[in-house]
Amino acid sequence: VLPFPSQVVYNRVGKCGSRTVVLLLRILSEKHGFNLVTSDIHNKTRLTKNEQMELIKNISTAEQPYLFTRHVHFLNFSRFGGDQPVYINIIRDPVNRFLSNYFFRRFGDWRGEQNHMIRTPNMRQEERYLDINVCILENYPECSNPKLFYIIPYFCGQHPRCREPGEWALERAKLNVNENFLLVGILEELEDVLLLLERFLPHYFKDVLSIYKNPEHRKLGNLTVTVKKTVPSPEAIQILYQRMRYEYEFYYYVKEQFHLLKRKFGLKSHIRKPSPRPEFFIPSPLETEEPINDEEEDDEKWLEDIYKR
């Protein structure tokens, strides 16, 4: 038994900076000697029971220490008799994630490899150049529920109800974040996410921030930026907010937990001013400015408990 978490799963959410993180992981796996297990399957996040069993079996038999990464909704290893791994993930503002995906599917990124044509070869020209405002305001399937209910299922899991926008999936996703994820960061504060990953999982992420800040790596990262993005009208954005109510409740819940964790470990980084929060459906945020009660949990004890998983 290795003296640190030897099974880590990054069930990465689409268009939440995962290609940047995977680039880092390729460098880190060579530098630190862990087994990076990736998947070429990008469009199958929901699995049958047999597919879940097969994937969990394949992951669990990988050479340890390993970090497995794939676009896949949360898998409950213990349900099939496996050891539950340490989960990590990153999410971002839901509207920004949706817009990035909308234009990436149509026009790809700066890598210039025509990957959007490869990903969507059957997309008709009128669909490829469909104005984002028309898509939203005229309620095209791509711009309405359940297509917009995207982030929560990655944390809710494989249960059919996890695909239905509602309180049940939202609460189950929150529960899994609390019980099964070592860290869920937010893309808007990626450097802080990397700092915490380096603190919690040094055998995987030591020196990750210095690699990320290296000009050569930043140059590679810039190639994965989606091109031809346009901003919808305020009316269209307001409609998206309303349709993505549960996504935003989850996003702000994760964001508050992330900020509590940052404060617990003394992170006081400078972050960009947040975008205005849609107040018409989301309750006021939890206050995190007060010092956290140190008696609640000792920092090192908290990390020890994680390492025993």
HEC string of the chain equals CCCCCCEEEECCCCCCCHHHHHHHHHHHHHHHCCEEEECCCCCCCCCCHHHHHHHHHHHHCCCCCEEEECCCCCCCHHHHCCCCCEEEEEECCHHHHHHHHHHHHHHCECCCCCHHHHHCCCCCHHHHCCCHHHHHHCCCHHHCCCCCCCCCHHHHCCCHHHHCCCHHHHHHHHHHHHHHEEEEEEHHHHHHHHHHHHHHCHHHHCCHHHHHHCHHHHHHHHCCCECCCCCCCHHHHHHHHHHCHHHHHHHHHHHHHHHHHHHHCCCCCCCCCCCCCCCCCCCCCCCCCCCCCCCCCCHHHHHHHHHCC
Query: Domain for residue 164, yes or no?
Result: yes
Looking at the DSSP bridge assignments, the partners of residue 37 are 68
Query: Domain for residue 2, yes or no?
Result: no
Query: Domain for residue 246, yes or no?
Result: yes
Query: Domain for residue 149, yes or no?
Result: yes
- For residue 274, give both structure tokens: 């947040």
Q: Give the pLDDT confidence score for residue 71 in this predicted structure.
A: 97
pLDDT band at 22 (very low <50, low <70, confident <90, very high): very high
Domain that holds residue 81: 7-265
Write out pLDDT tens, residues 110-132.
Answer: 555 455 555 677 888 888 999 99
pLDDT band at 289 (very low <50, low <70, confident <90, very high): very low
Write out pLDDT tens, residues 187-225.
Answer: 999 999 999 999 999 999 999 999 999 988 776 655 556
Query: Domain for residue 77, yes or no?
Result: yes
- Name the domain count of the chain: 1
The model's pTM is: 0.84
Query: Domain for residue 207, yes or no?
Result: yes
Query: Domain for residue 286, yes or no?
Result: no
pLDDT band at 296 (very low <50, low <70, confident <90, very high): very low
| CATH number of the structural domain spanning residue 187 | 3.40.50.300
Q: Tokens 């790596």 belong to which residue?
A: 217
Query: Domain for residue 305, yes or no?
Result: no
Catalytic machinery residues: 71
Sequence-ordered list of residues with C-beta below 8 angstroms from that of 251, at least 6 positions apart, any chain? 91, 92, 93, 94, 151, 186
